[in-house]
Structure 1
Amino acid sequence: MVRRLTNGRWGLTLLILALMYIIALGLMARPAAADPGITLVLNGSRVNPSVPAYTDSNGRTMVPVRFVMEHMGGRVEWLDAEQGIVVSRGATTLKMWIGKRQAQVNGQAIDLDTVPVLQDGTSMVPVRFVAQAFGGKVEWDDASRTVSIWLGTASPAGQVRITGSYVNVRTGPGTSYGVIDVLPRDTLVQLLATGDGWYQVQLPDGRQGWVSASYSEVLQGNNQPQDTNPPGNNQPGNGQSPGNNPSPGNNQPGNEEPPSGQPLGTAIIGNKPVAILAGPNPVEKQVGMAPAGSRLPIWQQQGDWWLVELDNGLRGWLASSLATFSPEKPGQDNGGSETGNGGTAPGEGNQGVGNSDSNSLKITGVTVNPGPDWIEVTVQGTRPFTFKSSRWADHLIFDIPGATLAVAPGQDKVEVNRQPLARVRLGQYDANTVRVVCDLNGAANFTTTTAGSTITIRLQKPSVRGAKIVIDPGHGTDPQGSDPGAIGPSGVQEKDVNLAISRKLAELLRAAGATVYMTRDGETTPYTLSGRAYYANEVGADLFICIHSNASLSPSASGTSTYFYAPPGTALGEQRDARQRLATLIQRDLVAAIGRRDLGVKEANFAVLRNTKMPSVLVETAFISNPTEEQLLASPDFQALVAQGIFNGISDYLSGQ
């Protein structure tokens, strides 16, 4: 009896020790709990990732690497077999591994002072190391518990010349940062780095700050404007497709604020009221409503958001995709915003910068040179010049600041009528800006080169290679909560099917040379329904592809359909032909690949379609409510066929078929 009691107590003690050991191991294996008090700011914009930043046990701030780097224009790949993360941006490639302190920057081994971890299926990495690897800057504000990341592009030695009358120098790359100085036109300062629409410069007294690229230009050693185009000015000098330049943000004001007391311009609301939010982010709360047809003064711009003022004096943020920009100030009648050559497309307005004295730049003409599979348009000036490019529907627009048009009568238009270019038009957009418009009669990519006092625009038919495509796997968990979508008779969830197909489509597109962004690559997405479209606008996508599975109360309903939205007579109507053609080609090739019933191309006012600035479709691959199609949708082989069919349609669209 005594012996049994002793053995029983000893066994209990061993059990308790074992449990304590297991619990300790579990706690050691887990990353530090997310700190809800840390605010994340990327290049001046506050963001809200689904997995928030936190401080780990080594005192290092950990951030979701895919969310941060894709927001900053990078590319992130996950190597499942080795639990590796590859981050590419510009000429820099960073590789890290979950649970390892070793990393590589362009092949060079580097030791970390903490380890990347997986948290809620998201790769979390030390922010300071990643930002510094790409030439960025990290600041920590202890009072507000805010980590700010400025990730510009390291720039070779050079100078920046101020082109605006008086330009603010700010502590960071955005108008929300404080002003440390004001520089007059033609001031030269040293260039340190380039960011998203901003230049980091060093002032003569050694202070460092940021100036807007809209009101300055980069000079090379010979004090001529840089051949490549400054980031953030929507200029495609890197050979990317035109969709890489946000459209129609080309009709938006510059990033600097206007002179004191003057708005940047007017936001014109369409035929439906739109929400005004507390901040420049789709997840912010609504603070007001702009009535249909109202004209609101714009006081500030951050990315694709405008700070506007309602009639009652309330100010809030409006997504620029929900309104049209007019350069006229409220109450001003400027006789319209078209060029002097008969007008350009709606929404092309852009305020020029420069002066109109006798020494100003003159644009003297344009020539067109057709090639075997391309067309070159060369614009001539009296001295080297810079430009800003933009796109609206079937128009490519090039605004040349500080210029006047000096061509003979009748020489302001060149008819071409060869795909992809119908004609070239020149006009004096305002007193200080010459506008060159290429009217397209087919899909086109373009690149630009600068030589002396000319720029040459080469237009070619587009292809998958080089295209920027956003894939949206429908449903999943977003800031508004969990949304599994439709659920099949045997329990297959639509969100899982959509994600599996989207991942396979992304693999095909990347293998063909496209740059692919996913609104979610797991269960969660940081974007609301409309926010998914705004994300595509933000990255300047060429195409937006939304993947869904259909459902019906009738289990016999079956088939495949593809949706687009471009009502005639609206801004989206300018893209009607392109959107309908994309939907038609995807529907045709998808039905051919999977052999399901053809329900045809349809038009519907879905949020992800009406809020995207680029051609977009929503694909209903098959009916998850149909027992037969549910089992097909759950099959990896069928998912691969669906992805291949959609890929074929995208390829046909981009190749001009």
Structure 2
Amino acid sequence: MKKLGFLLALILCLLVFPKSVDAASSGAAIYLDGQQLNLSSGVKVDNIKGNVMIPIRVVSENLGFDVRWDKSSRSVTVSSSDKSVRMVVGNAQAELDGELVDLNLPPVLSGDTTLVPLRFVSQQMGLDVKWDNAAKAVYLTSPVPSSPDAGTSPGSGGGSGTDSSAPGNNADLSTLTGISFSDNRLMISTEGTVAPSVFPMKGPDRIVVDLPNTAFSEAFLADHVMNPSSGGEMAVTDYPDVAKIRFALFSHSPSTVRVVIDLNGPASYGVTHESGLTIVDLNAEGDMVIPPVPPVSGSGKKIVVIDAGHGGSQPGATSVTGKSEKVMNLDLALKVEALLKNEKNIEVVMTRSNDSTLGLKDRVKIANDLKADIFVSIHGNSSTSSSPNGTETYYTRDASKQLANVIHKHLAKATGLFDRGVKYSSLHVTRETKMPAVLLEIGFLSNKGDEAQLFNEDFQNRVAQGIVEGIKEYLK
């Protein structure tokens, strides 16, 4: 029923497509639950007498239905596990589970392709459809299942449009404020009371996180590109188990945000949820809820949060040769992470380990919710003048001053650049964190001399080692 519903959804478009749609719509893109259908070469949506038509091969290639073509009767039969539709070229009636139903326009032959009218199937299923005339795109949204196992599309879309995705439509809604993927862990930050539901699904393999009574925060919507059906995604390149992360407003009643980890195969995971931070840990053994990382004391491991500044839609400063600060920040942060993982008494957590967008509040929230021992944010400096150069370290609270002094001592020595010293500044990530926190400005991307070093592999390795030495000395 589900798959046939997707097919039936295609015909719904006629009900919402404006009559003025002309042959230009033949190049329209089709999005199913937020994911664009990758049509084969030469396959296109067509318009005949004001009726939107779709090639029948899309049904089998993109939606996975069983499609049988009978050349002698010029009929096509589309079947799912519990439903069957038979249509005949030129016949204005079709058989739906043996019952005759009228078609607004019969199927037609176009060369060696059979085109079917969208309206017929749309009348059978109450699916939401949006037509973006400017983008010439069709957005289809499948119904929300009654339970996680009901078998809808894998959380890649949902909802009936962008209007209800914005916070503020319901004052009682919680909000999703940030998503990041680091160290094979998905971290989701929320504000308000949220009871996440986490479960695996197959065909394909994925892990689904549903956040009921939740909408996207305004800050999240501003930082992430969302398609008209309220969906978006984040690429993951460094972890072989994960293909990508997707997120969408899955349902309006109740408002439910769904986040999906698309897997390349079956994977075990553990779940932590505490104080507005949900972590799906793919390093865990078995599908189970694991306790949150506890505050460290005595002989336990120290928790160090490493924050690679900027990322995603926030590139940071641009260097004199056109390179992005976010790239340098991440490269260096990953080197620091690798070194800290060799320290048996330190647990390192990254706010991001790929090119993802993360708000300042979310970076702080990760550290605070984990009750980290220290927080280190890595940045590259910049100025409107090419003259300023050198390394400097910032802190905000008195509790962070000793950390700033210790790390800067090692950092300045490692960079070999002009030592600009330790400075006070009221920065969000160093002000709102509850543990000692510093922000490191490694060098100036706007200075030719500094920039020549900042993207150098040997330089970064040396600086990463210096930062780690500072962290170790401070933590004793």
Normalised by the length of structure 2, the TM-score is 0.46
Higher relative contact order (CA 8 A, sep 6+): 2
Alignment TM-score, normalising by the size of structure 1: 0.34
